[in-house]
Amino acid sequence: MCGRYILIDNIKSYEKRFNAVAQQYSARVNLPNFNVVPGALAPVITNDKPNEIQFFHFGLTPFWAKKPMYLINARAEGDHNSDDDPNYRGAKGIISKPSFRKPIRSQRCLVIADYFIEGPKKEKLDKPYLVYLKRQPIALAGIWDEWANKETGEIIHSFSIITTTPNKVIQQIGHHRSPVILHESDERKWLEAEHLNQITDLLEPYTDDEMNAYPISKRIKSPRENDIDLLQAIGEPILPEIELKVFRDLKLQGMGYTKRDERSE
């Protein structure tokens, strides 16, 4: 399950990376965000507006729901692979799940992230790891929906991150799921694909040798915690490296950029 992830940069950097322009967003949007939690507004790029960065709520509410549901993850296998076999490569049952069968066909999105958090299946966020790639930011495969509050008339746009079987790095953490991380060359394919087999072919674990992870403080478990020190390693990375670059490089960059700075330019 991917229930926490991290955005370390400002919106202009994400615009440049994804060649998309951000819509105006409210003060409720927090960038950088060192602890993106369910319910937060976060940047996505949808298939119907592929040149625009929008801000949707993390946790999908299907259009037919009577009240908000906050489905943060959508399992690629659906009801298949009940034993959580990491080598499973069978049918993608997501295409038949009531909450996901419409979005997977026609409402897909890129979920912008820099890093994500996983913990062992048993300890979960009591023993969290920061997972990172050799490149940042990344795009996670997501689906989105639009829900209308019948009492207030408010329209809510929300998204889920699709999960799949773990690669070897995630297995060493002790977790049985991993978000679907799209290769950069597959990002537009995810948005533009028209046939189900093209879509489901992309729902596979990410390359092992481009990923690593290290343990961080369990402060990340609290939705109230949101500061750069959450990224500080408290142990060695799963795979050996010459140095821990993530936290060090962030400290060198400085994180004083705010939305107010952006508006003043």
pLDDT, tens digit, 9 for 90 and up, residues 92-146:
999 999 999 999 999 999 999 999 999 999 999 999 999 999 999 999 999 999 9
| Residues 97, 78 contacting (CB under 8 angstroms) | yes
Q: What SS3 string covers the chain?
A: CCCEEEECCCHHHHHHHHCCEECCCCCCCCCCEEEECCCCEEEEEECCCCCEEEEEEECECCCCCCCCCCECEEECCCCCCCCCCCCCCCCCHHHHCCCCHHHHHHCEEEEEECEEEECCCCCHHHCCEEEEECCCCEEEEEEEEEEECCCCCCEEEEEEEEEECCCHHHHHHCCCCEECEECHHHHHHHHHCCCHHHHHCCCCCCCHHHEEEEECCHHHHCCCCCCHHHHCCCCCCCCCCCCCHHHHHHHHHCCCCCHHHHHCC
The mean pLDDT value for 30-49 works out to 96
Give the number of other CB atoms < 10 A from CB of residue 75.
20
Residue 245 pLDDT class (50, 70, 90 cuts): low
Specify the number of domains making up the chain: 1
Q: Tell whether omega for the bond before 240 is within 30 degrees of 0, i.e. cis.
A: no
| Residues 179, 163 contacting (CB under 8 angstroms) | yes
Above 60 in pLDDT, residue 67? yes
The reported pTM is 0.91
Closest CA to 31 of 17, 20, 42: 42
The mean pLDDT value for 8-36 works out to 89
Q: What is the CATH number of the domain that holds 157?
A: 3.90.1680.10
pLDDT tens digits, 169-198: 999 999 999 999 999 999 999 999 999 999
- Tell me the average pLDDT of the chain: 91
The vertex-54 CA angle with 49 and 59, nearest 5°, equals 110
Res 61: pLDDT: 98
Give the number of other CB atoms < 10 A from CB of residue 243.
8
Res 254: pLDDT: 47
Domain hosting 60: range is: 4-263
Res 19: pLDDT: 97
